[in-house]
């Protein structure tokens, strides 16, 4: 029997790590005796994601997480919401923002701020894009098509994950004329990598995002502790097309990545390549030296190496190392327009959001995704106006300071 990454990640590995974690108090202990294995198996087989296509009222991105929990099957919600290990990094991603304050400049004369920006030739209505996230079928019956369509409707940029339920071509069609990049986990077989990269270019993607922080798999224990099993039938959308690549799948990924693999992506796609998973100034500097088109500061939303730093905490030193030579994207923990503002002030060109988009997708399909973007845009406009900043390029470190603790 072939064992795939998702199977290891969500079943065997989780079960093993959960058994070793009974003494941990960081995640609430749950009595799994009420959910015997047969019941869990039946629940997984009967998995049905929400399917609404409707407008939703987003007052707060944190509120929609609680709303989405009410409509999502338990496995789907905890797969999306959870992190790795003790989930310290998951929590720290948001907590780190509370250690920074915004210092506004009143009497600035700013009446109507402009939140529009651009990155690598793509114009955006706001400096927020959709981070790559796998398996949108856990959140909604429309899968990645709804996320791509809603992102395009909001005037933003969608990053298609290679580990998706729909194919990259189907997702590109759903995004239409909207800006789109393709994210790749570099496969073990370079021929499969070549096929994915060339398919992405042919489908109209304008940049490649190479994720480098998933060469081993984070111990995402939450579903196992809750006795939840993954549904068996959602499928991969980007299976190889060439008969010569039979037996390959998007879960079979290379572990020993180097900058030679970055160069491979550059050569075989002919597109700009952004490295995602940068948490140190040294790696950021090396990415610039190797001709990367951008640096993506990310800890995988707290889903990979627990106790890695919050992205907002390392962003300033990475921005210093990059020195404005290439764009910087940052994700993880962004839940407010004020968070977007602080990221831009500390050196980001744009920010990426993840989980809130999946919650919006679960609640309203493409319209729910669009509503999440619109809420962030509204909050960012408010923050820019109150802080006295007319445009995104004017948001600098002068507007942010450490919070004073008594």
Catalytic (active-site) positions: 300
Task: Report the alpha-carbon distance of residue 10 to residue 230 in Å, rounded.
Answer: 7
Token pair, residue 369, equals: 């995704």
Interatomic CA distance for residues 288 and 292, integer angstroms: 5
Q: In the structure encoding, which two tokens stand for residue 238, read together? A: 């980007």
CB within 8 A of 297, min separation 6: which ones? 278, 279, 284, 311, 314, 315, 318, 328, 329, 330, 331, 348
Candidates 103, 112, 248; CA nearest to 187 is: 248
Q: How far apart are CA 254 and CA 240, in angstroms?
A: 16
Under 8 Å CB-to-CB from 15, ≥6 apart: which residues?
224
Instruction: Give dist(CA 327, CA 320) in Å, integer.
Output: 12
- Measured between its terminal Cα atoms, the distance across the chain in Å is 59
Return the axis-axis angle of helices 144-153 and 168-175, rounded to nearest 10°.
Answer: 30
Q: Are 56 and 364 in contact (CB under 8 A)?
A: yes
CA atoms of 213 and 193, how far apart (whole Å): 17
How many residues belong to the chain?
Answer: 406
The Cα–Cα gap between 194 and 268 comes to: 6
Query: Which residues lie closer than 8 Å to 25 by C-beta, 6 or more apart?
Result: none
Which residue's structure tokens are 């923002």?
97
Coil/strand/helix, residue 7: helix
């Amino acid at each position: 029997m072939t064992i795939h990454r998702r199977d290891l990640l969500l079943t065997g590995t989780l079960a093993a790590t959960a058994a070793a974690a009974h003494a941990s108090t960081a995640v609430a202990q749950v009595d799994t005796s009420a959910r015997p294995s047969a019941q869990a198996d039946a629940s997984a087989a009967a998995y049905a994601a929400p399917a609404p296509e409707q407008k939703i009222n987003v007052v707060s991105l944190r509120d929609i997480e609680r709303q989405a929990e009410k409509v999502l099957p338990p496995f789907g919600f905890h797969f999306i919401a959870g992190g790795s290990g003790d989930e310290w990094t998951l929590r720290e991603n948001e907590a780190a923002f509370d250690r920074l304050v915004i210092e506004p400049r009143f009497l600035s004369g700013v009446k109507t701020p402009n939140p529009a920006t651009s990155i690598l030739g793509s114009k955006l209505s706001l400096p927020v894009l959709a981070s790559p996230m796998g398996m949108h079928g856990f959140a909604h019956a429309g899968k990645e098509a709804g996320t791509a369509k809603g992102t395009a409707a909001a005037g933003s940029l969608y990053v298609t994950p290679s580990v998706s339920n729909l194919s990259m071509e189907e997702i590109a069609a759903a995004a239409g004329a909207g800006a789109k990049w393709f994210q790749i986990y570099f496969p073990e077989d370079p021929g499969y990598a070549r096929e994915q990269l060339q398919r992405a270019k042919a489908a109209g993607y304008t940049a490649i995002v190479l994720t480098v922080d998933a060469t081993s798999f984070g111990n995402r224990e939450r579903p196992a502790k809750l006795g939840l099993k993954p549904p068996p039938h959602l499928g991969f959308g980007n299976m190889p097309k060439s008969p010569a690549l039979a037996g390959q799948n998007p879960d079979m990924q290379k572990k020993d990545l180097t900058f030679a693999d970055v160069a491979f992506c550059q050569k075989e796609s002919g597109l700009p390549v952004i490295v995602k998973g940068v948490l140190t100034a040294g790696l950021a500097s090396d990415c610039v030296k190797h001709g990367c088109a951008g640096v993506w500061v990310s800890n995988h939303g707290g889903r990979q190496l627990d106790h890695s730093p919050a992205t907002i905490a390392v962003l300033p030193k990475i921005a210093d190392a990059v020195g404005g030579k290439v764009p910087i994207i940052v994700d993880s923990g962004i839940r407010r327009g004020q968070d977007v503002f602080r990221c831009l002030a500390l050196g980001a060109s744009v920010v990426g959001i993840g989980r809130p988009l999946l919650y919006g997708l679960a609640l309203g399909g493409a319209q729910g995704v669009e509503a999440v973007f619109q809420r962030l845009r509204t909050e960012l406009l408010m923050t820019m106006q109150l802080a006295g900043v007319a445009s995104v390029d004017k948001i600098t470190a002068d507007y942010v300071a450490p919070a004073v603790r008594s």
